[in-house]
């Protein structure tokens, strides 16, 4: 299975270290969500992969070979800064861009027709791009990334500015491309979406990959957490329990973390019952948002990385 | 479906150039400038033709009695550099036509003893013509009376011209050449300036819209720059060719080409050749400097030095050159790269320069082009992906 490897990328702007020995791998047929705060280095990584920026060191490989100028023709790219000719017609523009990627006129035209159809902008083919709404321009931008039938997709925030219907269309398209064998890497701040769509996630912070892995793996990487809804429990009711910490409290509901041992949660349940009725007691799986906050805050506090997470995780066998 | 292999780097250049051509010729501004320049050139040609006619063709009337003189009148006038049209009329009609200024002169009397009717005073050229005719007739009569052969004498006299060797012959420039010089100078300046600005705006448009980042995934910067320059150049060349062609066609249709000194074909051809050379040089400069900025508003500021570089030879070209094609400033500027594309064609129109000088100047300009390609390619490549504030030329050159 070919894979897209980002190997030890480093990039410095003056005194700012934008990428610091960044490595990760995206397998064929895998959707990889690239998450991180603004300025963490997501766009820099993608731009290096597309050759519009040169890395100080490190390299990006596809199928074991460097992703060079020739190979990049097979990449579908959506830059962070959206870019299309404002005064060129949608259809002509897409045909032109796919021809630049090496398609013949006929193939390019039929690909343009197919993708404008799929993305719901078929009626706008004859309009200048600048006459379209921002959402529709975004769809054209995605069509531009897809119209040459790329083997690899690298999309910088493809979902920003899309309405829910377009998000669904876009999600489906990404899944289709991955099912067809393309590695798909995209960045996003919409973590629920990333959680829903991605096979694996990478969280980047200050130019380094803090953690990568399947969302489920990342979730279970923290110590077991339980949700307890005990209306009669006074504040600090878990204080006497060994190895138990309260992570958060929301009204009568608390989330507690217990030691990773069999039946460690039973002591919590007993303590809760002793304060009165217990309405809910369930295993709590942290969302990607919580994980992300956890990662970002822990590192900001200078703490250790997420327990159980590695700097680089091998591609899970598909 | 996998993409077929693309045939080399020039395919990319061709695609970029093709896009420029199809997009440019559809714009309203392009159509309008073409139409305006066309009208300008046709009007100038028509104007020139009026000027030519009123200048040279004199109308002379002869009666049946003096009709035998018409050949001598035409021949003598021609030897003086004037063209005369002779018509045969009755004396009464002729006199009224002279009064109405339809005829410049009417020859009455007999072939041996004629007199000339003019409205107020006789045209200076015609006065000389008839003076010569009269002298010849008198001379022939005297020679005959002395028993000589008037024909032999007149041919001997005709060949008795002094042999003059001119060391520095003054350039002879006629009205048509001056007009052509103006038109060529203005046309080249406007076209080069418009096309250069189009290149600059095109470069910045790609930076402003950020589409350049998408393009540079599949294109090298030099391919993008070359394609843009070639595409816009082809459009400009087409425009110049159409306009120059319209001038030539109008001139031929008006029968202007027979009576003027101007070599229309050579002028049109050289103008086109100089456009190609001048455009290449200036377009490369425009492309490189425009890549330094990210907003259309800043284009004017960075391209002003180039415009001044074009303005100087243009002003000299249309203000000094037509009256003094051998002025030292004009001559020097016509050989220096960058200024010569705007001046040399004017001198060509004025026929003030031998062909091999033009070829030499052209070669001098061509030598500069590879250096320009390298220099502007480097600046463009280093600057085109850097958005934000204006980049210093030196930084772009070093690639810092």
Confidence check: pLDDT of B242 > 80: yes
Residue A172 to chain B, least CA–CA distance (Å) = 20
Q: If phi over 0 gives left and psi between -120 and 50 gives alpha, with beta otherwise, what is residue B336?
A: beta
User: For residue A182, what pLDDT is reported?
Assistant: 92
Taking an 8 Å cut-off on Cβ atoms, the answer to whether A100 and B15 are in contact is yes
Per-residue pLDDT tens for A106-123?
999 999 999 999 988 999
User: For residue B90, what pLDDT is reported?
Assistant: 87
Chain B residue with the nearest C-alpha to that of A53? B385
Q: To the nearest whole percent, how much of chain A has pLDDT over 70? A: 92
User: For residue B161, what pLDDT is reported?
Assistant: 66
User: For residue B196, what pLDDT is reported?
Assistant: 93
Phi, psi of A255 (to 5 degrees): -115, 125
Which residues of B lie closer than 8 Å to A, measured between beta carbons? 1-6, 12, 15, 19, 22-23, 205-206, 209-220, 385, 387
Exposure on the CB side of residue B128, measured as CA atoms within 13 A: 12
User: Which of A83, A106, A146, A156 has the most B C-beta neighbours within 10 Å, making it the best mutation to test the interface with B?
Assistant: A83
Confidence check: pLDDT of A247 > 50: yes
pLDDT band of A317, cuts 50, 70, 90: very low
Residue B212 to chain A, least CA–CA distance (Å) = 7
Residue B241 to chain A, least CA–CA distance (Å) = 27
Rg (CA), chain A: 23
Stretch B196-217: mean pLDDT: 91
User: For residue A310, what pLDDT is reported?
Assistant: 39
The residues with which B105 forms a beta bridge, in sequence order, are B60
Taking an 8 Å cut-off on Cβ atoms, the answer to whether A101 and B218 are in contact is yes
User: Which of B214, B385, B400 has the most A C-beta neighbours within 10 Å, making it the best mutation to test the interface with A?
Assistant: B214
User: Which of B218, B231, B294, B385 has the most A C-beta neighbours within 10 Å, making it the best mutation to test the interface with A?
Assistant: B218
Confidence check: pLDDT of A316 > 60: no
- Comparing A240 with A101, the larger pLDDT belongs to A101
Going by the DSSP 8-state scheme, the letter that residue A32 receives in this structure is E
Stretch B81-99: mean pLDDT: 85
The DSSP element (H or E) to which A215 belongs, if any, is helix A215-219
Which CA distances in Å does A171 have to A103, A199, A235? 25, 13, 43
User: For residue A153, what pLDDT is reported?
Assistant: 95
Confidence check: pLDDT of B3 > 70: no
Chain A environment of B5 (Cβ under 8 Å): 102
Lowest mean pLDDT among A25-39, A165-179, A218-232: A218-232
Lowest mean pLDDT among A67-81, A254-268, B271-285: A254-268
Confidence check: pLDDT of A147 > 90: yes
Stretch A256-260: mean pLDDT: 82
User: For residue B400, what pLDDT is reported?
Assistant: 52
Residue A9 to chain B, least CA–CA distance (Å) = 19
pLDDT band of B290, cuts 50, 70, 90: very high
User: For residue A275, what pLDDT is reported?
Assistant: 86
The closest CB to that of B218, out of A47, A84, A100, belongs to A100
pTM above 0.90, yes or no: no
3-state secondary structure (DSSP) of residue A153 = strand
State the average pLDDT for chain B.
Answer: 84
pLDDT band of B79, cuts 50, 70, 90: confident
Exposure on the CB side of residue A169, measured as CA atoms within 13 A: 19
Confidence check: pLDDT of A306 > 60: no
User: For residue B59, what pLDDT is reported?
Assistant: 84
């Amino acid at each position: 299975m070919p894979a897209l490897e980002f190997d030890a990328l480093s990039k410095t702007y003056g005194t700012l270290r934008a990428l610091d020995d960044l490595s990760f791998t995206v397998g064929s047929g895998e959707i990889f969500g690239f998450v991180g705060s603004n300025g963490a280095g997501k766009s820099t990584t993608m731009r290096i992969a597309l050759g519009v920026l040169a890395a100080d060191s490190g390299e990006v490989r596809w199928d074991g070979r460097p992703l060079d100028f020739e190979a990049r023709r097979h990449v579908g790219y959506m830059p962070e800064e959206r870019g299309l000719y404002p005064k060129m017609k949608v259809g002509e523009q897409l045909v032109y861009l796919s021809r630049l990627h090496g398609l013949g006129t006929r193939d390019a035209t039929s690909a343009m027709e197919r993708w404008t159809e799929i993305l719901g902008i078929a009626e706008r083919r004859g309009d200048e791009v600048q006459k379209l709404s921002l959402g529709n321009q975004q769809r054209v931008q995605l069509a531009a990334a897809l119209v040459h039938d790329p083997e690899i997709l690298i999309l910088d925030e493809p979902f920003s500015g899309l309405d829910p219907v377009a998000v669904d269309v876009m999600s489906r398209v990404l899944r289709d491309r991955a099912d067809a064998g393309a590695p798909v890497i995209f960045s996003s701040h919409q973590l629920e979406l990333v959680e829903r769509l991605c096979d694996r996630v990478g969280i980047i912070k200050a130019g380094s990959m803090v953690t990568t892995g399947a969302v489920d793996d990342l979730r279970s990487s923290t110590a077991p957490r339980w949700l307890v809804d005990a209306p009669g429990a006074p504040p600090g009711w878990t204080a006497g329990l060994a190895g138990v910490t309260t992570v958060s409290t929301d009204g009568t509901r608390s989330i507690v973390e217990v030691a990773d041992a069999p039946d460690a949660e039973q002591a919590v349940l007993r303590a809760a019952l002793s304060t009165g009725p217990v309405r809910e007691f369930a295993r709590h799986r942290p969302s990607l948002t919580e994980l992300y906050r956890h990662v970002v805050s822990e590192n900001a506090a200078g703490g250790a990385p997420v327990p159980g997470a590695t700097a680089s995780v091998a591609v899970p066998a598909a | 479906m996998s993409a077929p292999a693309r045939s080399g780097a020039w395919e990319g250049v061709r695609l970029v150039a093709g896009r420029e051509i199809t997009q440019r010729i559809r714009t309203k501004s392009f159509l309008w400038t073409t139409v305006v320049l066309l009208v300008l050139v046709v009007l100038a040609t028509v104007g020139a033709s009026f000027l030519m006619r009123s200048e040279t063709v004199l109308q002379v009337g002869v009666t049946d009695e003096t009709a035998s003189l018409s050949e001598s009148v035409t021949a003598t006038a021609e030897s003086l550099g004037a063209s005369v049209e002779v018509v045969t009329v009755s004396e009464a009609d002729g006199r009224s036509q002279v009064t109405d200024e339809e005829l410049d002169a009417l020859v009455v009397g007999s072939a041996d003893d004629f007199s000339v009717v003019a409205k107020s005073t006789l045209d200076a050229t015609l006065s000389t013509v008839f003076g010569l005719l009269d002298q010849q007739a008198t001379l022939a009569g005297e020679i005959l009376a002395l028993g000589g052969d008037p024909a032999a004498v007149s041919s001997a006299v005709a060949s008795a011209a002094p042999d003059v060797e001119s060391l520095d012959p003054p350039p002879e420039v006629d009205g048509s050449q001056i007009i052509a010089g103006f038109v060529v100078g203005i046309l080249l300046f406007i076209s080069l300036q418009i096309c250069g600005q189009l290149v600059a705006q095109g470069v910045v448009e790609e930076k402003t819209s950020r589409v350049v980042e998408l393009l540079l995934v599949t294109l090298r910067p030099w391919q993008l720059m070359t394609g843009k320059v070639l595409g816009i150049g082809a459009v400009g060349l087409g425009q110049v060719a159409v306009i120059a062609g319209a001038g030539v066609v109008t001139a031929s249709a008006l029968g202007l080409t027979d009576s003027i000194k101007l070599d229309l074909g050579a002028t049109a051809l050289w103008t086109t050749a100089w456009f190609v050379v001048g455009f290449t040089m200036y377009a490369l400069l425009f492309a490189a400097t425009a890549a330094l900025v990210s907003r259309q508003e800043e284009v004017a500021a960075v391209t002003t030095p180039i415009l001044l570089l074009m303005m100087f030879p243009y002003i000299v070209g249309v203000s000094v050159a037509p009256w003094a094609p051998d002025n030292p400033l004009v001559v020097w500027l016509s050989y220096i790269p960058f200024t010569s594309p705007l001046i040399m064609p004017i001198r060509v129109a004025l026929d003030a320069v031998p062909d091999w000088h033009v070829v030499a100047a052209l070669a001098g300009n061509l030598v500069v082009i590879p250096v320009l390609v390298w220099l502007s390619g480097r600046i463009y490549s280093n600057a085109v992906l850097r958005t934000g504030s204006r980049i210093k030329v030196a930084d772009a050159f070093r690639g810092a």
